[in-house]
Structure 1
């Protein structure tokens, strides 16, 4: 049975509350616990494709990093906590994370090489809330993979179309580059990655390729 908490709560209270062997994911938003909706098959296909490509690149380039199964990011304000769809962590920095071994909690931006969110119907969280919190944390690179073109026109243009937005930290602020077609995406976290936005978007459907 999951205990009911009176909101708002702190991040540490959220971590203590988080049920073991949970069958769904939860995030903390401004002190309120939010149950995350189950992903569609297309959403899961895209996540799996990106993760497999990054795993391969990590091995090929021998980067000292890893992609964990679960991870909670603690926002600076202590009122929010997120579980990115994919996160790449720097191994050397994990020793400086007091909550990592027991709770899979990350509190420092330099522990993160890359965070990725694959957009679903609650696209405002990815484009508004998480961008601001990840920037304040100092996470150096953040991808928003909008394979259905759901985001607001001010973020992905008009007419809306599937877009991969890469946010890279420059002098403490995110600079944004949009990718939509077959051109190779440009990632500082994975500079040798040979992958286009179109290839990522195509992963939503299962094919024999």
Structure 2
């Protein structure tokens, strides 16, 4: 169930100034707050496996989990990727609030783990793809537990193109993490445990 709250905002700055005294995550849609529902246990396990893999390679300062907020154009006006690889410059910029604004350089890579259902598929494969492409994120991974695939999209000019779709024992291709040794089999086995 989607829960809308009564607070109404005219600008993203008004939304950023809002504090309801909780750690709850909200998406800003048409000026209204919509509570972000919790992730499934399977998706959390997959995102955690990726977090650990990335953190071992890059250190924990540059890898952020689901709590990192991205300001985007369109509706909703913000997104919470399951995993984000940030730039060195972001580390100090995010000390006060874990939000990457449109005025900042985009993160290097975002990962979304697709939840079951047509609406979630549309959101990750279509809506978020267009929003992340629009803000210039160089690489976007769509991790699909149902299809057992990892689709890697890279920005070519202003448009995402498919770098590859990894399945089974194929390594996940990545320009941002070119020496990454990760296969969908290992990733989804961790999510199934």
Q: Determine if the alignment matches structure 1 residue 134 to structure 2 residue 132.
A: yes
State the TM-score, normalized to the length of structure 2: 0.83
* Root mean square deviation, CA, Å: 2.5
The runs of 5 or more residues in structure 2 that have no matched partner are none
Aligned residues: 184
Q: Secondary structure at the match of 2:132?
A: helix
Q: How far is the alpha carbon of 1:46 from its aligned partner?
A: 0.5
Measured in 1, the distance between the counterparts of 2:125 and 2:29 equals 14
Q: Secondary structure at the match of 1:53?
A: helix
Q: How far is the alpha carbon of 1:138 from its aligned partner?
A: 0.3
- Deviation per CA, 1:5-61: give whole Å up to 9, x if none: 23x743223222353432x422224544222222222111101101000001114xx
Partner of 1:21: 22
Q: Determine if the alignment matches structure 1 residue 42 to structure 2 residue 29.
A: no
State the TM-score, normalized to the length of structure 1: 0.77
Does the aligned pair in 1 maintain the 2:140–2:154 contact within 8 Å?
Answer: yes
Q: 1:30 to 1:192 in 2, by over 3 A?
A: farther
Within-5 A mapping of 1:1-209: 4-6=6-8, 9-22=10-23, 24-59=24-59, 66-69=62-65, 70-77=67-74, 80-93=77-90, 100-108=94-102, 110-121=105-116, 122-148=120-146, 161-176=147-162, 177-206=164-193
